A = this chain, B = another copy of it.
Amino acid sequence: MKKLLLSLFITALALATNAEDGHQLWLRYQPVNKALVTAEKQSPTIQIAKQELETYYNGANVTLKLDATMPDDDGYRIVANTITARREAGLLYGAFALLRGEKAESHPAFALRLLNHWDNLDGSIERGYAGESIFEWFHLDETLIREYARANASIGINGSVLNNVNASPKMLTTPYLKEVKKIADILRPYHIKVYLSINFATPMALKETKTADPLDKSVARWWKKKAKEIYRLIPDFGGFLVKANSEGQPGPGDFGRTHADGANMLADALKPYKGIVMWRCFVYGANHKGEDRVKQAVSEFKPLDGQFRDNVILQTKNGPLDFQPREPYSAVFDQISKTPNMVELQITQEYLGQSRHLVYLAPMWQEFFSFVKPSSLSGIAGVANIGKDRNWCGHHFSQANWYAFGRLAWNPALTSGQIAKEWLVQTFTSDASFVETMSRVMVESREACVDYMMPLGLHHIFKFDHHYGPEPDGFKADYPLEWCPVYYHQADKDGVGFNRSHTGTNATGQYRDSIARLYDDVKTCPENLLLWFHHVPWTHRMANGNTLWEELQFRYNQGVITTESNYNLWHNRMQQYVDHQRWLEVDARMYDQMQNAREWRDTCLGYFRQFAEP
């Protein structure tokens, strides 16, 4: 009897547990089957919009209308339970908007709103912290992929690059392409196009050509044939994403050709089908080896500006280094004007605590947009934080970064707080105490992370390889210098920071004049970027009168205190608002975050102290 009770208890627990494992993301509407939805036209996309509303909309009947006089984009207009749109996609987005409670006209800021999956063909994910890839080649979980598509559609994402930018040549083989077709078929009604990262040397690696020289005719021919094959399988295939001549990846440089030569050859192959090439500017250690790493992208690409085909877009990370907790924006956005630009953001928190830390990234992305106008960009890509973990993202609060990326890709004018509240209400509860408290915690979390990891413009003092903990004394003689923390903080008895002003590497000179002047002068350089651009004495006076060393200590401590305060709020005040499993899982991670923050502070201050207080 005792055994039976125990087993019943375990079953009940398992059920309760499954119910709130976070898998539903922000899509927790209860079926009400209330509203009737009418539409003039039938189609798979319209069918999804209808079904979402008929199942979940807790209001009056809804009409879906296509209107050819509306702007030619994915936007929608919601007036008195009628959703009007130019495209079917607009009706779908309008349906999700209505479910969220929106009633307005809304148009996306970016035409391209893409997720980049750094998923390898073996199921592993580079910089993935939520389990293996959801794209299980030759064993596709169609239900999971459909859930993925629905979640993306609900926040306006309209493209997925399915594989890692460090791409395998196998990706373009016919067996894999047939699998890609299956995924594309599932995603299509959700208005999501499929893209692929390609290995520039694919034909040579597959031994189908002798070279991968983009100016070699056999190579160009191969790509044209491959494009034809792809589009036969996937008529709306989006295009290629390319990492070339960067961190060991092959590229046109291997054959004495330029990035433009390489990109254009691919662009020509895709052009007949309206496909695009997204060519990454994340290039260093190649033609400009030895130059300050943050300058190399501009050095490489500025001379090529104007030489690209019109279906090539340059894709550049928000900052000039590599997704640090805080970077200045990349000067590529100031220097490339004749080629379309898109920005690559990182949703997965490679350098911001991965899936262990609650760090909400919307404030970081909005900071970027305060320097680079969304209207100057042709698209936006986010490196996904999605894996096969039941809750998709590892940390329940990392779901908010996926959500916020989608919302900002649609409307970068939304505030971080608005998006956080929207997400909290949908994901947890509308209780005001919870939403007010946790939205504040979320909005402050990125600055706290900067504080406990790398305040005042410090950067890249991570442990080698895994990019999680601190290693300020990191130096390996057999590693490229620009992978070593000591190269980036340059701490010595005279001061700390990387001199990138005109007396140093002159990285400041790559910015547009007004910004260049601001950053170049230690007196006007924003203090949150001070050590990015200047080597500054420990006794340097900050605006608040503190010495640099005092302020550095203050910031590290403040970051830790914020994590303690947040953990105290979650652990002792929030339990009542959240189902037990999610509360517990977040709780364990916030505890770790607090401990990690202390480790960051103690390690970094301990290291810098030897120079600051010799």
Contact = CB atoms under 8 A, between A and B. Distances in A.
Contacts of A569: 554
B568 A554 contact: yes
Contacts of A568: 554, 557-558, 561
Given A564-B561, A564-B564, A572 B554 contact: yes
Contacts of A546: 572-573, 575-576
A565 B573 contact: no
A376 interface: no
Interface string A575-590: 1110000000000000
A572 B553 contact: yes
Interface in A155-186: none
A433 B575 contact: no
A576 B433 contact: no
A551 interface: yes
A569 B553 CA distance: 10
Interface string A62-95: 0000000000000000000000000000000000
A576 B545 CA distance: 7
Contacts of A565: 558, 561
A550 interface: yes
A544 interface: yes
Interface size class of A (residues with CB under 8 A): 20 to 34
Nearest to A552: B572
A127 B550 CA distance: 37
A571 interface: yes
Given A554-B568, A568-B554, A544 B561 contact: no
Of A433, A545, A547, A551, chain B has the most CB atoms within 10 Å of the CB of A545
A433 B545 CA distance: 10
A577 B575 CA distance: 42
Contacts of A551: 572-573
A545 B431 CA distance: 11
Nearest to A576: B545
A557 B594 CA distance: 13
Contacts of A564: 557, 561, 564
Contacts of A545: 433, 576-577
Contact of A553 (B553, B554, B558, B571): B571
Contacts of A561: 561, 564-565, 568
Contacts of A557: 564, 568, 572
A13 B278 CA distance: 67
A269 to B, nearest CB: 59
A605 to B, nearest CB: 10
Nearest to A569: B554
Interface string A536-553: 000000001111001101
A452 to B, nearest CB: 12
Interface in A416-471: 433
Interface of A: 433, 544-547, 550-551, 553-554, 557-558, 561, 564-565, 568-569, 571-573, 575-577
7 contacts: A544-B573, A546-B575, A550-B573, A551-B572, A557-B572, A558-B565, A564-B564
Question: Can you list the 7 inter-chain pairs with the closest CB atoms, starting with the nearest?
Answer: A554-B572, A557-B568, A553-B572, A545-B576, A550-B572, A561-B565, A561-B564
